[in-house]
Amino acid sequence: MSGCKSRNPRVNILEHNAESIKFELRETHLSVANALRRVMLSEVPTLAIDLVEIHYNNTVLNDEFITHRLGLIPIVSTKVDKFRAWYEEDEEDDIDEQTGLPIDPLTEVEFTLDVLGRESEDNDGEETTVVTSNDIVLDSLHPDVAPINYKVENVKPIVIVKLRPGQAISLKATVRKGIGKDHAKWNPCATAVFRVPPAIRVNQQMLSGLSDAQRQQLVDSCPSRCFRVNPDTKEVEVQNADRYTYDDEIVRKAELLGVGGAILVREKPEHFVFTVETTGSLPPHQIVLGALGTLKKKLNVLSRDTARVLGEQNFREGGGDGFPMEYA
Amino acid sequence: MNAQERYEKFVLPDDAHKVTVVKDEKVENAVAITVEREDHTIGNLIRHELHRDREYVQFAGYKVEHPLEHKVKFQVKSSMDRDPVECFKDALERLSDEMSNIEQAIKKKVGVD
């Protein structure tokens, strides 16, 4: 083995709720942070409606328009591990803990949607019947695969189409597993970004020669308003560093006021602040864990195949006819 | 009409290997490693991990040669006392460990399993 060891990055969770997570990742390289971000966006598997069979549709929206709208409805994907996409191979570790038998992976789940536009007298006096995600009928065998906020009281469901009296929609929708690289409907993130926080140093001694008005000018020059003049001490101080946009305006203003270098800004090394928001298909921390799992799996597949290449090479060497080794 | 199928970006064809290695004809202990159906996510990650191995790795670079050909090509040159493909594998293993470490840290902080 080489002398270099794998890193052990530090993680600190700053905010965490049902919709989003904000955390710090420290003591690692930018390439790791960026790989994590990219995988969260495009390679964490989720569920989405992928195939729609329309039986009847005389609404104002055409078949493919409705199909597209259905595809974009986030589906609760906490059970996505039990699914297998068509391109995936069966894994050996899918064994039932109690019976010891292999678990048959799911490939698809079917929803149905049948709504008829009611006359206004049967519809609380309303001319239009609104078809929403709550009108979808779930697969009775898989009640935990459902559109987000399915039949949750006081939460507005997702509108699919609106009907006039006499218009109707009837269809069968197939839910499948997929990744954001295939189609954005499988992307679990509404946001997945990271930024590098700034380390700001204010040299009070250099600023001591400035008048109060000049200090105010200096503070006002920052468009992201990250500084303020302390009302008591009249010192320039950092107010909210995490809003700083690296615009350098205040650094240049300091130069104009003849105190160049009084305010120094640099990026904190090896420090990344992630913000991840979910579409609702997966809890936010599951997106992050799912991304790490996907990355790890990717790297393991690569190292296994690299081992295969090395093995073939050794085999040739074993043939030993004195020629320099060649790779496959 | 001539568009590729979307799955071509990530589904490995039956007749392809994930990793293929070609030895450099002019430079000693240098190889070109092609990884099928991967992109910059893995490319940049592995390149930087190879750079960390100062003891053995003398050169590491990667490129995605064409946007419609979904593969990454690495070029690695190592010192004479270690095979460049071994260095590549070491980098992969270190990264895999690092991912496990982050995973553990997050699980601990979030409080799942």
Q: Are residues A155 and A240 in the same domain?
A: no
Identify residue B113 by its one-letter amino acid code. Answer: D
Alpha-carbon separation of residue A115 from A68, A111, A118 (angstroms):
18, 13, 9
A176, A298, A325, best to mutate vs chain B, most B CBs in 10 Å = A298
Per-residue pLDDT of chain B (113 residues; tens, 9 = 90+): 899 999 999 999 999 999 999 999 999 999 999 999 999 999 999 999 999 999 999 999 999 999 999 999 999 999 999 999 999 999 999 999 999 999 999 999 998 76
In a domain, A143, yes or no: yes
Q: Are residues A76 and A162 in the same domain?
A: yes
Domains in chain A: how many in total?
2
Q: Tell me the Ramachandran region of residue B95: left when phi exceeds 0, alpha when psi lies from -120 to 50, beta otherwise.
A: alpha
Domain hosting residue A249, numbered range: 198-267
Contact: B95, A6; criterion CB under 8 Å: yes
Strands (E), A210-321: 227-229, 236-238, 263-267, 271-278
pLDDT in tens, A185-235: 999 999 999 999 999 999 999 999 999 999 999 999 999 999 999 999 999
CATH of the domain at A229: 3.30.70.20
Alpha-carbon separation of residue A199 from A196, A260, A265, A267, B41 (angstroms):
10, 17, 6, 6, 28
In a domain, A236, yes or no: yes
Nearest to B96 among A39, A299, A307 (CB): A299
Q: Are residues A262 and A222 in the same domain?
A: yes
Rounded to whole angstroms, the Cα distance separating A143 from A123 reads 28
pLDDT of residue A328: 43
Q: Are residues A161 and A215 in the same domain?
A: no
**A191 strand-pairing partners:** A277
Nearest to B31 among A38, A301, A327 (CB): A327
- Note whether A278 and A189 are within 8 A (CB): yes
**Last residue of one domain, picked from the residues A221, A242, A267:** A267
Q: Are residues A64 and A145 in the same domain?
A: yes
pLDDT of residue A104: 79
Q: Are residues A167 and A215 in the same domain?
A: no
Q: A313: which chain B residues are within 8 Å (Cβ-Cβ)?
A: 21, 85
User: Residues of A numbered 131-170 whose beta carbons fall under 8 angstroms of chain B's beta carbons: which are they?
Assistant: none
CATH of the domain at A146: 2.170.120.12
Q: Are residues A129 and A210 in the same domain?
A: no
Which positions of chain A have pLDDT values less than 50?
A: 316-328
**Last residue of one domain, picked from the residues A214, A233, A267:** A267
Q: A284: which chain B residues are within 8 Å (Cβ-Cβ)?
A: none
Q: Are residues A215 and A125 in the same domain?
A: no
Nearest to B85 among A3, A300, A306 (CB): A306
In CATH terms, the superfamily for domain B6-107 is: RNA polymerase, RBP11-like subunit (3.30.1360.10)
Given CB atoms, is A7 within the 8 Å cutoff of chain B? yes
**Last residue of one domain, picked from the residues A247, A267, A287:** A267
User: Residues of A numbered 39-78 whose beta carbons fall under 8 angstroms of chain B's beta carbons: which are they?
Assistant: 39, 43
pTM here is: 0.90
Q: Are residues A66 and A158 in the same domain?
A: yes
